[in-house]
Amino acid sequence: MDPSALAFLGAGLGAGLVALGTGLGIGRLAGPAMEASARQPEALGEIRTSMIIAAALIEGVALFGLVICIILAFK
């Protein structure tokens, strides 16, 4: 087997795992944020801001993983 096939396999699996992890992370974040803003609509702005910060941090880590997958897939 061509050894680079394993790199492609790794990239594909990695991308899937990245999506899984980020989905779980942002899901856990967004669900309670929705509940909180439904309970207290007047705090909507603040909740949304802090939700976006946290989501951005989670997404940042996911993007690092994704970059590694892209490097694996293209080289």
Smallest gap from Cβ 52 to another protein, in A, equals 6
State the residues that interact with another protein by CB under 8 A: 45, 49, 52-53, 56, 59-60, 63-64, 66-67, 75
DSSP states along the chain: --HHHHHHHHHHHHHHHHHHHHHHHHHHHHHHHHHHHHH-GGGHHHHHHHHHHHHHHHHHHHHHHHHHHHHHHH-
In the complex with another protein, the residue whose CB is nearer, 6 or 67, is 67
Smallest gap from Cβ 63 to another protein, in A, equals 4
